Structure formats: C-alpha cells, structure tokens
Amino acid sequence: MTRRRFYVPRESIQNGSAHLPPDQSHHLRDVLRLGAGEIVEIFDGEGAGYAGEVAFHDSAVVIHRLERLAGERSRARLVLAAALTKPAKFEWMLQKATELGVHEIIPLNTLRSEIGIPADKAASRCERWNRIAREASKQCRRFSVPRVRMPMPCSEMLRREEFSGFSGFLFHQNTAELWRRDAIRTAKDIVLCVGPAGGWDDSEVEEAGRAGYRIFSLGPWVLRAETAAIAAVSVVQYHLNLQSSADSSGENPLK
C-alpha cells in the first residue's frame, strides 16, 4: 500500500523529527485516523523527502525516526510563464504543470488576457495558487513544490534580468516554425511563454523576439490556452528527459 504523504516546511524538520503544521496534523489524525507507530512520508517542498514514524504529543503530531528518501533529479530548471485565464482553467493548468515537474509558474497579464485580478485580491489568489501547487506535489509524489508568483505584465517578465541566462521560448499559433526537438540541446534553464485564449498581440511577439526568445508553434491546431501550456511543458520535459537519459548512457537521442 502506498504510504500517506504530508507537507512539512523545512524549518519544522530538525534533529531527526518533523512537526506537522496544524492542517496536516488535522488531516493525519482526524481525517485519515492514522495511529501512532504508522509509517508515513513527508516532503519539505524544497526537494527533500523522508519516511518516518507517527507519534502524538498532546495536540501535536510528530514524525520521528526520519530516514531520507532518494531525491529528485532534474536536468534543467523549467519556468512556465502562462497568461491568466478563467480561474478554474488556470487552476487546472497549475495542477497539471506541477505534476509535469515545472519549477516555477508566472501568471502573465497580457494584452489579450481574458481576465485581470484586482490588486487587493492578488495576494489571496496567489496564496490559493501556491496551496494548489503543494497539494498537486503531494499527490504526484514530488519532494519540491513549484513557486507560483504574483501576476506580472508580460513585458515586465520579458525584461527580467534574472532570466537573462535562460533559454526562452514563446509558443505562438501564427508562426510558421514548428517546435524542433534540437531546440533545447544545450539548454540548462528554460522559460516557456504561453499566451491567452485570444492569442499574443503582435507587439508582444516582437518584444519577445528582441529579448532573445525563440518563437515556435505547437502544430496546426488551435489549442485552448490551458491545453497549449500543458502541451508545451510536456514536449519540453520529454526531450529534457530523453537528453538526460542519453547523457547517462553516452548516446545521442537527436540523431
């Protein structure tokens, strides 16, 4: 039987024991009704995971006798910059992108975005998005949790100095150049940009090109925004994993 998993912040893991946060304690004790001595797994959201034994101390739940689990391996840091869409669709995309191993998600305000988020609601919306990412990481057995940032204008993201060393790709329905598997041959860190339901404005595509982003199409079909985001992450992760396997074996998968 698969072990139950719980999220514990890194600062709550010390000296071979982990103190579960209140919501995780409630889930373990009152919902799942696990007993003392049962073996569960925890993850800190930053890449570390452990197995340990449940113990109860008054109202607190502690996992002790921790044993480190094998960590995650990733060839590249993958950032998904995706245009905001309707809440349910955007949250579905967040969940699936987490399952596919992205490291960070940047919600974009684009010129043709379907929605905007009022400034006074942005913090609570971002908190909800990060909670969804944690739950998705828990479900898919990741040890790390992707960071979901506050929404930002597309033009601001394209100018960010922190991404200057990344390989940037923007997926655009109206470009003639199809995605090529050799595009990420030497990529170490990657930003994928996916537009809104109405597509990118020409000025945004031109700005991305000036910023060094390569423009590709995902094929001849018109994809929904959330579908395009997951398709883009899927094809890039496939080739990253293929390249990682080849690096280990000494083969060249791009021949």
174-210 residues labelled b (16+ CB within 10 A) or e (exposed)? eeeeebeeebbeebeebbbbbbbbebbeeebbebbee
More reliable by pLDDT, 70 or 133: 133
**Whether residue 96 sits in one domain with residue 41:** no
Query: Which of the four pLDDT bands, split at 50, 70 and 90, describes residue 102?
Result: very high
**Whether residue 140 sits in one domain with residue 51:** no
**In CATH, what number is assigned to the domain containing residue 32?**
2.40.240.20
Q: State yes or no: pLDDT of 108 exceeds 80.
A: yes
**Whether residue 110 sits in one domain with residue 60:** no
Check: CB of residue 53 under 8 Å from CB of residue 39.
Answer: yes
pTM of the prediction? 0.84
Dihedral (CA of 76, 126, 11, 59) sign: negative
**Whether residue 106 sits in one domain with residue 224:** yes
Nearest in space to 102 (alpha carbons), one of 74, 64, 131:
74
Q: Is residue 15 part of a domain?
A: yes
**Whether residue 51 sits in one domain with residue 17:** yes
Query: Which of the four pLDDT bands, split at 50, 70 and 90, describes residue 122?
Result: very high
Beta strands 60-68 and 49-57: pairing type?
antiparallel
What pLDDT does residue 244 have?
A: 61
Q: Is residue 255 part of a domain?
A: no
Q: State yes or no: pLDDT of 249 exceeds 80.
A: no
What pLDDT does residue 88 have?
A: 95
Nearest in space to 12 (alpha carbons), one of 39, 35, 46:
46
48: containing domain = 5-68
Domain count, the chain: 2
Q: Is residue 254 part of a domain?
A: no
Q: Is residue 99 part of a domain?
A: yes
